[in-house]
Structure 1
């Protein structure tokens, strides 16, 4: 009935129970009582700046770790990151394979060599033998959630190469 009459400005059911318990215990003052040496909000400018600096150093940090490091609540830490700083937890974008400069150059040379041989020798492509292979993948130590990072909307997603094949090949 109170929700229909007062809408959003109505006190919640839990809060009403807590006030009832306080008045039964002997409380007579209706105003909120002051708290002992606690700031009214942990989303003050000092906490925001320190959270931002800490998070930009270690982007993989979880909200819980950040809250423990700064000695504030987990929800306040999350509110600072998402609402005030506008950051999101972003998973890494998987790339097919990440090659270094030497590997790319080697692949290019092999391809050019095969094209030149195919032009000079008419039966060269018929002499190439292919077969089925089974590759053993190496173990990735981090899950996608563990490797995700806090990023701003305008920042690019972090990149992570797909699982690479190990040196051991099973035929």
Structure 2
């Protein structure tokens, strides 16, 4: 779908969306799951932001596959590609939990509905939702970090000098 944007490989631009939004959504999800006041203020923005993040992942992956076919194959690139393919399930789960956080607090029959009396079942459901959110948030951020680290290694390993080159002036 995306190959180049303004003459640059789209992948190197799109990854910035994923690298910023995944941790942002993960943090917002955990805070909204645990903090009702923030959840009410953030509202539907949480699942919308999670959906944008979810949509960015396959776009970035497709752009990466386009780029992969245009650079020399290496073991580091293969490792990066394998890791990249594992992000979508994590971010998909994060989107689902963000949608659940928003929905279960708005369904009047839910024991977690805003303004409902907190029952024992509601407390258990709240704890389960928080734990699930923390697991998916941590998994998403960890996978994003691992992918980014492997991508940087694939792109830059042995491609720069350990010593700085003497400074040159163009007008000399």
TM-score per shorter chain, which class?
Answer: under 0.3
* Higher RCO, 1 vs 2 (CA within 8 Å, ≥6 residues apart): 2
Q: Which structure has the highest strand share of the two?
A: 1
TM-score w.r.t. length of structure 2: 0.23
Of structures 1 and 2, the larger Rg is shown by 1
Higher helix content, 1 or 2 = 2
